[in-house]
């Protein structure tokens, strides 16, 4: 069965640079969620999209922006990167059927040096 | 606001033993979903078990079972016949239908040979 795809899997950037993370949800899933997991921490919700519209927003810095495209893939854009942005970024998708089921991708490990 | 609390930061058990991980949560909602996720060293988020709050019957998945006490807002995970491959970080998590997932701080479980 198809799973959530995230690219790249690993990314190394320098401070003040920009990074773009991509997420391809499971086919026919219309909802995408982004989570950030710092070292030794639990995942924290950043932002979500339903049918290409932002549906909820968590503790996402103003330096970050995201969108969902017509093919339902999503991109998380991160600018003016800081050392503290080093984390594992998960994307999850769901079919939006009210069943509380989210399927997680393998994550993108971002290292800011 | 919903919260999830895991009071055991770390646990160790011998292989083949049974272990129980504790979780409590707080919500004023009546319909919600609870999960246990496993995160091995690869850091992939793996869904172990899912419980729907409106179902009184405790969920089971092979060696994994939960004790869901809705009135007490308690949701513990029991792992029977523990195996070395069960060594991982375990997160208790909560969500409302298609809402963001809220994670506990995690319990690091070591299965000893």
Give the residue on B whose Cα is nearest the Cα of A91: B45
Could you tell me the pLDDT band of residue A85, with boundaries at 50, 70 and 90?
Answer: very high
Nearest to A98 among B44, B50, B97 (CB): B97
- φ/ψ of B77, rounded to 5, equals -115, 130
Say if residue B97's pLDDT is above 80: no
Confidence at residue A101, expressed as pLDDT on a 0 to 100 scale: 83
Could you tell me the pLDDT band of residue A2, with boundaries at 50, 70 and 90?
Answer: confident
H/E stretch holding A1 reads: none
Confidence at residue A99, expressed as pLDDT on a 0 to 100 scale: 73
Confidence at residue B56, expressed as pLDDT on a 0 to 100 scale: 87
Confidence at residue A36, expressed as pLDDT on a 0 to 100 scale: 98
* Residue A9 contacts residue A91 (beta carbons within 8 Å): no
Confidence at residue B53, expressed as pLDDT on a 0 to 100 scale: 93
Which of A12-16, B50-54, B78-82 is least confident?
B50-54
Could you tell me the pLDDT band of residue B85, with boundaries at 50, 70 and 90?
Answer: very high
As a whole-number percent, the residues of chain A with pLDDT over 90 amount to: 89
* Residue A67 contacts residue A47 (beta carbons within 8 Å): no
Q: What CA–CA distances, in Å, run from B11 to A98, B53, B88?
A: 34, 27, 10
Mind giving me the DSSP string for A8-60?
-SEEEE-TT--EEEEEEPPTT--EEEEEEE-TTS--EEEEEEETTEEEEE-S-
Q: State the average pLDDT over residues A5-34.
A: 97
Give the gap in angstroms from C-alpha B40 to the nearest C-alpha of chain A: 12
β-bridge partners, B34: B51, B94
Q: State the average pLDDT over residues B64-71.
A: 97
pLDDT tens, A28-75? 999 999 999 999 999 999 999 999 999 999 989 999 999 999 999 999
Q: How far is the C-alpha of B99 from the C-alpha of B32, rounded, in Å? A: 10
Q: How far is the C-alpha of B83 from the C-alpha of B109, rounded, in Å? A: 11
Q: State the average pLDDT over residues B29-57.
A: 94
As a whole-number percent, the residues of chain A with pLDDT over 70 amount to: 99
Three-state secondary structure call for residue A64: strand
Kindly state the DSSP code that residue A103 receives in the 8-state scheme: E
Q: What share of chain A is helix, strand, coil (3-state, %, to 5)?
A: 5, 50, 45
Say if residue A1's pLDDT is above 80: no
B113 touches chain A (CB under 8 A): no
Q: How far is the C-alpha of A69 from the C-alpha of A32, rounded, in Å? A: 11
Q: Average pLDDT, whole number, for chain B? A: 95
| Cα angle, residue B103 at apex, residues B70 and A88 outer, rounded to 5° | 160
- Chain A residue numbers with beta carbons less than 8 Å from the beta carbon of B101 are 33, 35, 43, 45, 92, 102
B101–A42 CB contact, under 8 Å:
no
pLDDT tens, B10-19? 999 999 999 9
Q: How far is the C-alpha of A10 from the C-alpha of A83, rounded, in Å? A: 16
- Chain B residue numbers with beta carbons less than 8 Å from the beta carbon of A100 are 32-33, 50, 52, 95-98
- φ/ψ of A25, rounded to 5, equals -70, 170
As a whole-number percent, the residues of chain B with pLDDT over 90 amount to: 93
* Residue B36 contacts residue B89 (beta carbons within 8 Å): no
């Amino acid at each position: 069965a198809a799973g959530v795809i995230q690219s790249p899997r690993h990314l190394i950037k320098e401070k003040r640079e920009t990074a773009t993370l991509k997420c391809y949800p499971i086919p026919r899933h219309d909802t995408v969620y982004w989570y950030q997991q710092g070292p030794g921490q639990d995942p924290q919700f950043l932002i979500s999209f339903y049918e290409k519209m932002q549906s909820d927003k968590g503790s996402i810095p103003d330096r970050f922006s995201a969108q969902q495209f017509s093919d339902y893939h999503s991109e998380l854009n991160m600018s003016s990167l800081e050392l503290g942005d080093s984390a594992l970024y998960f994307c999850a998708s769901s079919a939006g059927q009210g069943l509380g089921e989210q399927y997680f991708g393998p994550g993108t490990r971002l290292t800011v040096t | 606001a919903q919260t999830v609390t895991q009071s055991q930061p770390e646990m160790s058990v011998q292989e083949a033993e049974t272990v129980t991980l504790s979780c409590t949560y707080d919500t004023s909602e009546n319909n919600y979903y609870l999960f246990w996720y496993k995160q091995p060293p690869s850091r992939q988020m793996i869904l172990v078990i899912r419980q729907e709050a409106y179902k009184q019957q405790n969920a089971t998945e092979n060696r994994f079972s939960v004790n869901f006490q809705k009135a007490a807002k308690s949701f513990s995970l029991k792992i029977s016949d523990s195996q070395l491959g069960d060594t991982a970080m375990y997160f208790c998590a909560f969500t409302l239908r298609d809402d963001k997932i809220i994670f506990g701080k995690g319990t690091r479980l070591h299965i000893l040979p």
